[in-house]
Amino acid sequence: MKSSSSRWTLLHARARRTACALICAGFWAPLLAQSGASAAPVPIDYASPDQSVWTTRLQDNGEPDNPLLPVAAALFSKMGIPWRARTYPASRMFSYLQDGTAQFSMLVKAPSLQACCLLSRKPVATAEIRAYRRAGTAPARTREDLAGKQVIAIRGYSYGGLAAYLADPGNRITVHETQAHASAFKMLANARADYLIDYAGPAGEVLAAEPVEGMVYDVLSRQDVHLVLSKNYPNAAQVMQHLEAILATLDVDALMSSSGAAAKGRPASRLPARQK
């Protein structure tokens, strides 16, 4: 039984590789025929936020360890597109995507991206937003449950639009901001507020390192993360179509789990990183 299972896994992996090869061959052949055999793919700049919703881990250069980088590496490697990755403050990242300075990202659907970018039909991954509380505090399963409460938030996060609700005076929420996930949990443990809003990934890492007795949570929302491609990129609609086809052949969970190792080196196919 074990041998049969191994053969099936091997065949499945080979089928994925074959599918990717056929997808890429089918994509570039007509474009090369139109523009000449010497045509080369235009390099892509992948912009990501400098504050991770996935992890507290940092790379050797101090930038956040983005677990989506291995996914991007697999996509662009199979497409044969040279690329480079760079992190930016969120406002600058959106500005660069809007004016075409950066051509690619993986983000939640945002109204500000609709005019400038194409977004994949299916999500790449999902980020979970949780409301942590001490045992005995009433559950907070919707944002309305936070009205009139004391809430701890991590500075810089929009929480998929929830930050605007927290800041609205009409909701009577007192927000206590802090810079770090670990300090946020210490504040909650010391009863500085009723709830702490945090993403599942960073929160899980903090609590694994420093467990807090009696800490529980409720899921407030799940934010789907999509491929984002600038409409200014050559043949953007076709490129997005093929990126989506390749994405369907990838084991995204396995790639994201490999990000800790990937953070220590960068693929040779990337271009030199542009300075901020």
If asked whether residues 144 and 104 sit together in one domain, one would say no
pLDDT tens per residue across span 194-239: 999 999 999 999 999 999 999 999 999 999 999 999 999 999 999 9
> What's the domain range around 26?
2-125+224-262
If asked whether residues 120 and 131 sit together in one domain, one would say no
Whole-angstrom Cα distance, residue 250 to residue 73? 11
Judged by average pLDDT, the poorest of 25-39, 80-94, 132-146 is 25-39
Contact of 105 with 48, CB cutoff 8 Å: yes
pLDDT tens per residue across span 53-65: 999 999 888 888 9
| CATH code (residue 206) | 3.40.190.10
Is 171 a domain residue?
Answer: yes
What pLDDT score was predicted for residue 272? Answer: 35
Is residue 113 pLDDT above 60, yes or no?
yes
Is 10 a domain residue?
Answer: yes
> 26 or 72: whose pLDDT is higher?
72
If asked whether residues 182 and 214 sit together in one domain, one would say yes
If asked whether residues 106 and 238 sit together in one domain, one would say yes
If asked whether residues 58 and 109 sit together in one domain, one would say yes
If asked whether residues 101 and 111 sit together in one domain, one would say yes
Question: Taking the CB of residue 192, how many other CB atoms lie within 10 A of it?
Answer: 14
pTM of the predicted model as reported, rounded to 2 decimal places:
0.80
